[in-house]
Each structure stands twice: as structure tokens, then as C-alpha cells.
Chain A
């Protein structure tokens, strides 16, 4: 199910911070303005398929790892689950 206002969730800010890439550098690499990267991160704008593929290509990750129609699970929850001992 698509969430309200057809917003697409993404992890651009997370990956950008992890790899220490500025908005401007990412924007230049994928051929948009840095403001557009900011609006994508805020969830104000859903990218075209072309732009989504370019951004996932830049980070070298599958597109579904970067964009989702439903909210992503918080990183801390994933880390806690990963740290739990397996029976």
C-alpha cells in the first residue's frame, strides 16, 4: 500500500552521512541540483525511476535498499535484532 501523498521513503541521508558525501557532490554525480537532493531526503519529492537508479548506482546498492514505499525499520532496531543471540 502506498503511504500518504504517495511519499517514497529513502535512506539517502543515511548513506550520504555514512560515506561522508555532501549533497552537492551527490547532486553533481547524478545530474541534479543540490536542493533536489535535500528535498528527496526530506521526503518532499519522490524521484523518477531514472534518478532513483542513478542514486542507487552512485552508492552501489540495490535500489530497493535505498527507496521504499513503506517506512524503513529504524537502524537501531535492526542493530538490536542483529545483536540478539540466535537460539
Chain B
């Protein structure tokens, strides 16, 4: 059923994340494709930013801007595919969801730290080209920011029938 924008904004985050209209994303193949799409977008965005910075070419910066709406769509879809486990308040989750979410944050903490530290080290401590530094920081930031949700989506079990 179609819903107006006003009605959508009136819904709680939990209701939006459990909306049946996102059922298309709630299977293993769709979740994994969305994760790959996110990684692809991060790489494309980073490459565009790097090339734009290196050549001072506005066309590449335009490419970065173009990836942003795609990021919004992919991030929203991944969130809905795991029913918003990493962004809904703990009080609104049940014990399986809390256990699953906490396990993913625990697993992803170190990889995210290493990714960000590595990019930060290259940017601050080496004489790499400015374009490479910009691309590394952009890519590392987007990957680290969303690593727990992607890991959750990648390994999320198939949902049972209601």
C-alpha cells in the first residue's frame, strides 16, 4: 500500500526497518549483493575523489557527488535487510537481536580500527600523493563506518516464515 511522506516520517525507526516493503532485501542473496554494492560504491567514490584531487578535475568530484544518493539507497536497504539491528535502540530489540548485534560489533572493532589507523598513517606520516591520501581516507572511512552492519548482513540467517 502506498504511503505518503508525512505518514512515513510519523513511523518509528523500528516500524520502518520492519516494513514488509523491504522484504525484497531480506534474503541472503540480496543482502550479499547489497554489501558488494556498498563496497563497490566506496571504491568508486574513493577513486573519483582521488583522481579529482590529483588532477583538480571537477568531473571526478562530480562523480563523488553522484555516488552519494546511491550510498543513501544502499545503506537504507542494508539496514532494512537486517531490520535495523545496528541502529535501533537496544530497548526495542529482543535478546537474539541484541546478541547478534553485539557479536558483530565485537568482531568488527579491530578490523575497523586497523583500517582507519592504516589510512590515517598513510595520510599523516607518508609522502604519498595527495590524491592517494584522499582516496584512502574516503574509502577507509566509508568501509569502517559500515563494517558491522555489512558483516551482520553478510552472515544473517534466512528468516523463518511468520
A20 CA to B126 CA, complexed, in Å: 66
Chain B interface mostly: loop
> Are the CB atoms of B95 and A48 closer together than 8 Å?
yes
Within 20-49 of A, Cβ neighbours of B (below 8 Å) are at 22-24, 31-42, 44-45, 47-48
When distances are taken between beta carbons in the complex, the residues of chain A under 8 Å from B162 are 22-24, 34
- Residue from A34, A36, A39, A47 with most neighbouring chain B CB atoms (10 Å): A36
Is B67 in the interface zone, CB < 8 Å from A?
no
With an 8 Å Cβ cutoff, the count of chain A residues facing the other chain is: 20
Is A61 in the interface zone, CB < 8 Å from B?
no
> Are the CB atoms of A47 and B95 closer together than 8 Å?
yes
> Are the CB atoms of B157 and A51 closer together than 8 Å?
no
Chain A interface mostly: helix
A41 CA to B159 CA, complexed, in Å: 12
Is B55 in the interface zone, CB < 8 Å from A?
no
Is B9 in the interface zone, CB < 8 Å from A?
no
> Are the CB atoms of B161 and A35 closer together than 8 Å?
no
Is B94 in the interface zone, CB < 8 Å from A?
yes
> Are the CB atoms of B160 and A39 closer together than 8 Å?
yes
Which bracket fits the contact residues of B? Answer: 10 to 19
User: Chain B 51-84 against A: per-residue CB contact (8 Å), 1 yes, 0 no?
Assistant: 0000000000000000000000000000000010
From the candidates A23, A31, A38, A44, name the one contacting B94 in the complex (CB within 8 A): A31
When distances are taken between beta carbons in the complex, the residues of chain A under 8 Å from B159 are 35, 38
A5, chain B: closest CB distance, angstroms: 14
Within 94-132 of B, Cβ neighbours of A (below 8 Å) are at 94-97, 99
From the candidates A22, A23, A36, A41, name the one contacting B96 in the complex (CB within 8 A): A36
> Are the CB atoms of B97 and A23 closer together than 8 Å?
no
When distances are taken between beta carbons in the complex, the residues of chain B under 8 Å from A38 are 159-161
> Are the CB atoms of B95 and A44 closer together than 8 Å?
no
> Are the CB atoms of B160 and A23 closer together than 8 Å?
yes
A33 CA to B92 CA, complexed, in Å: 10
**A: which residues have CB within 8 A of B?**
22-24, 31-42, 44-45, 47-48, 51
